[in-house]
Amino acid sequence: MTTPATPRHQQGPDAGLLGSYESPIPIRPATLGDAVASEWTKIRSVRATVWTLGVMVALMLTVGLGTALLLAADSSGGMPDEPVLALGFFGVLLGSICVITLGVLTIGSEYGTGMIRTTLTACPSRGRVLAAKAIVFAALAFAVTTVTAAVVAALQTLILGGAPASADDWLRGTVGVGLYLAALGLLSLGVGAIVRHSAGAITIMIGVVLLPLVLALFMFADRLRGVQRFLIEYSIPNQIGALYGTTMTESGPSGWEPLLLMLVLAAAVLGGAVAILNRRDV
């Protein structure tokens, strides 16, 4: 205690409605910004963040540079007709698994450890807690992905030369990819908040990424052609490809459309998560 225990005045059984203890710590209204500061402390003080993002950067760099170097050694001329930026695709696809994991863990680890009860006692507004988590996680995932994607693209261009890419191509291949993975991570965060179980949520999200393509593989029947094409076009790997301008099909989302689709999906799931959290017992 900062001050020795001195009863201010003896409380009778009918002491007024207000407590008699006044804290010397001033009450300043807390805002979303304070919740963001809190979430930033949380995300930077656990090892999972360094691990998942570290593995993602390592994967993007090794896969990206590996393909570039192999191609350079394979044919002297490189790939004169193909946009070189598209080579970043494989690394980003693998890296997306790491972003999904971190997104799920951002909320899932709170449920796993019981920290969520402490968190919600400190900040009873479920919406504010999820919003703060989403802001901190998305900013971090976006920054790391964008920077890594830009470095990989620059190195690949240096190694292979290739056809000059437009400014829009560069923007989609760096900032676009960064935003897309951040949105995919937000979707994972929303799923994590709804299922409250890290392993379960990661499994669901990996299914969401891979299952449409796997299902499409087995749709030989003519009557299923439409479904098959839809599954391929809107599968997450194909949409990441669309950001690089290389898709498996001619139709389907192109340019910045995949990003818009993913942002809408993530916003819907996060909104649903807030609604569920508001009604559910912790």
Partner 1 sequence: MIELEGLTKRFGSKIAVDHLSCQIRPGIVTGFLGPNGAGKSTTMRMMLDLDNPTSGTVRIDGKHYRELQEPLKYIGALLDAKAMHGGRSAYNNLLCLAQSNRIPSSRVDEVLDMVGLTAVAKKKSKGFSLGMGQRLGIASALLGDPEILMFDEPVNGLDPEGIHWIRNLMKALAAEGRTIFVSSHLMSEMALTADHLIVIGQGKLLADTSMADFIHENSRSYARLRSPQQERLRDVLHQEGFTAVETAGGVLEIDGATTEELGELAARHQVVLHELSSQRASLEEAFMQMTAGSVEYHAHSERDLAVEPPAVGAGWGENWNKPGSTDRTGTDGKGA
Q: Which residues bind partner 1 (CB under 8 A)?
A: 1-3, 5-8, 10-11, 13, 15, 17-25, 27-30, 34-35, 37-39, 41-42, 45-48, 109-110, 113-115, 117-125, 279, 281-282
Residue 48 vs 213, nearer CB to partner 1: 48
Nearest distance in Å: CB 187, partner 1: 23
Nearest distance in Å: CB 216, partner 1: 39
Q: Which residues are CB-contacts of 225 (< 8 A; sequence separation ≥ 6)?
A: 219
Task: Tell me if 129 sits within 8 A of 136, measured CB to CB.
Answer: no
C-alpha–C-alpha distance, residues 252 and 239, integer Å? 9
Residue 1 vs 73, nearer CB to partner 1: 1
Nearest distance in Å: CB 276, partner 1: 12
Task: Tell me if 240 sits within 8 A of 93, measured CB to CB.
Answer: yes
Nearest distance in Å: CB 38, partner 1: 4
Residue 49 vs 156, nearer CB to partner 1: 49
Nearest distance in Å: CB 185, partner 1: 19
Query: Which CA distances in Å does 282 have to 38, 120, 278?
Result: 20, 9, 9
Residue 126 vs 172, nearer CB to partner 1: 126
Q: What share of the chain is helix, strand, coil (3-state, %, to 5)?
A: 75, 0, 25
Residue 116 vs 240, nearer CB to partner 1: 116
Nearest distance in Å: CB 194, partner 1: 17
Residue 18 vs 221, nearer CB to partner 1: 18
| Sequence-distant contacts of 67-75: CB under 8 A, at least 24 apart | 67/156, 68/155, 68/156, 68/159, 68/160, 69/159, 71/160, 72/159, 72/160
C-alpha–C-alpha distance, residues 191 and 195, integer Å? 6
- For the residues of 144-171, what is the DSSP string, one character each? HHHHHHHHHHHHHHHHH--BPPPHHHHH
